[in-house]
Amino acid sequence: MIRLEDVAARAGDFRLAGISLEIPAGGYGLVIGPTGAGKTTLLEAIAGHASLEAGRVFLRDRDVTQVKPEDRAVGFVYQRYHLFPHLSVEDNIRYGIASGPLDRIQQRHRVAELAEALGLTPLLRRGVGDLSGGESQRVALARALAPRPTILLLDEPFASLDPTTRHLLRRELLELHRRERVTTLQVTHDFQEALRLGDVVAVMAEGKIVQRGTPEEVFRYPNSAFVARFIGAANVIAGTVSRTVGGDVDGPRFAARFDSGPLTLEVIAEREGPLNAVIQPEDLVLSRAPQSGSARNRILATVTGLETVGPVTNVFLDAGHPLVAAITTVSAKAMGLARGEAVHVTLKATAVHLV
């Protein structure tokens, strides 16, 4: 278990403030945020490398705020691997167990076990200078796991890898995570990684956590335009919400209008005034003819571009405001969509998330 209580830390000129976060034992947490958000500093604070100005760090239910890094039993993998360049692959992996309770045979066995799991066996005798990025990252991972830490901290471990290696390593990491039952906290700037790996996601900006939840919650209900844009929401529209006269009311929620220039949408809101509308591309339904049904928003738009990404086609639209819809490539072909053509867009009022 990793628990941070109102942590404030400083590293150089950078400051973390008011960080509270909990990753359950055996869980996989992800901290996402843009470069300079303080993600690495957060990991270093957990590992004990950055001294805290306030707050407490708990690892395995124990308050380790004052505990030295070497006594925290934490594995740490940096983005740039930071392998020891004067040691072989084998000695790098063995580094953390060379002086522990294991005898030399047990050490060799542990190194061989991890090398086998990560496909490093043929590389054990080699120096680390001529390893590829993927190989280096595997060695760094094996080195961190060798002492059997119960906590693993990963600093953008896939950022410097090509997409194929990244995909492969991600799978291997998940497998290792399950096998070694290590509570893992990974930082990344890639929300897709969070969707694939994490049980818990925290979004960081300027040294603070601005939203936390399950990846699905954060993806579906970003709490600010910043988070929406950061997680890659294609449709984030600034506008104004005003209550519909005589509209339905359900507790704090009421029927309202969202205006952004020529684009007007019916929405369900909890407050009026300037807000951002977040619309998932999958929630925009396209058709050649006007649709009847329960959806409150029916817009006539012009196709401005098409982008096919395997089975999904992104359709770029001008509806008085640029919008992106995601439909299956089969549907796009069946509809015969082309640039400059008119298309009817249908959208439920409940699919517009206001932040």
Q: How far is the CB of 57 from other proteins (least distance, A)?
A: 14
Taking a C-beta distance cutoff of 8 angstroms, is the pair 354, 267 a contact?
Answer: yes
Q: Minimum CB separation from other proteins for residue 1, in Å? A: 18
The encoded tokens of residue 7 equal 């942590």
Site for other proteins in 47-66 (CB under 8 A): 47-49
Q: From the CB of 230, what's the least distance to other proteins, in Å? A: 26
| Three-class HEC string of the chain | CEEEEEEEEEECCEEEEEEEEEECCCCEEEEECCCCCCHHHHHHHHHCCCCEEEEEEEECCEECCCCCHHHCCEEEECCCCCCCCCCEHHHHHHHHHCCCCCCHHHHHHHHHHHHHHCCCHHHCCCECCCCCHHHHHHHHHHHHHCCCCCEEEEECCCCCCCHHHHHHHHHHHHHHHHHHCCEEEEEECCHHHHHHHCCEEEEEECCEEEEEECHHHHHHCCCCHHHHHHCCCCEEEEEEEEECCCCCEECCEEEEEEEECCEEEEEEECCCEEEEEEECHHHCEEECCCCCCCCCEEEEEEEEEEEEECCEEEEEEECCCEEEEEEEHHHHHHHCCCCCCEEEEEECHHHCEEC
Candidates 57-65, 71-79, 131-139, 203-211; binding stretch for other proteins (CB under 8 A)? 71-79
**Position 82 contacts other proteins (CB under 8 A):** yes
Nearer to other proteins, 152 or 203 (CB): 152
35 binds other proteins (CB under 8 A): no
* Contact status, residue 279 vs residue 351, Cβ threshold 8 Å: yes
The length of the chain, given as a count of residues: 355
Contact call for residue 44 and other proteins (CB under 8 A): yes
Nearer to other proteins, 36 or 247 (CB): 36
> Does residue 114 interact with other proteins by CB under 8 A?
no
Question: Counting contacts by CB under 8 A, is residue 99 touching other proteins?
Answer: yes
How many residues bind other proteins (CB under 8 A)? The answer is 24
Least distance from C-beta 126 to other proteins, angstroms? 18
Residues 317-336 that bind other proteins (CB under 8 A): none
- 76, 158, 226, 254: residue in contact with other proteins (rule CB under 8 A): 76
Can you tell me which of 7, 32, 64, 72 binds other proteins, judged by CB under 8 A?
A: 72
Closest alpha carbon to 146 in 49, 77, 69, 63: 77
CB nearer to other proteins: pick between 44 and 283: 44
In single-letter form, the type of residue at position 257 comes to R
Within a 10 A sphere around the Cβ of 258, how many other Cβ atoms?
A: 22
In whole angstroms, the minimum distance from the beta carbon of 143 to other proteins comes to 7
Q: Which stretch binds other proteins (CB under 8 A): 81-89, 233-241, 296-304, 336-344?
A: 81-89
Q: Which of 35, 68, 164, 274 binds other proteins (CB under 8 A)?
A: 68
Residue closer to other proteins (CB basis): 100 or 305: 100
Residues 132-191 that bind other proteins (CB under 8 A): 143-144, 147
CB of 50 to other proteins, least distance (A): 10
Least Å distance, CB 140 to other proteins, is 8
- Nearer to other proteins by Cβ, of 72 and 321: the residue is 72
Q: For residue 41, what are its two tokens?
A: 């500093």
Per CB under 8 A, does 75 bind other proteins?
A: yes
Q: Which residues contact other proteins (rule: CB under 8 A)?
A: 44, 47-49, 68-70, 72, 74-76, 78, 80, 82, 84-86, 95-96, 99-100, 143-144, 147
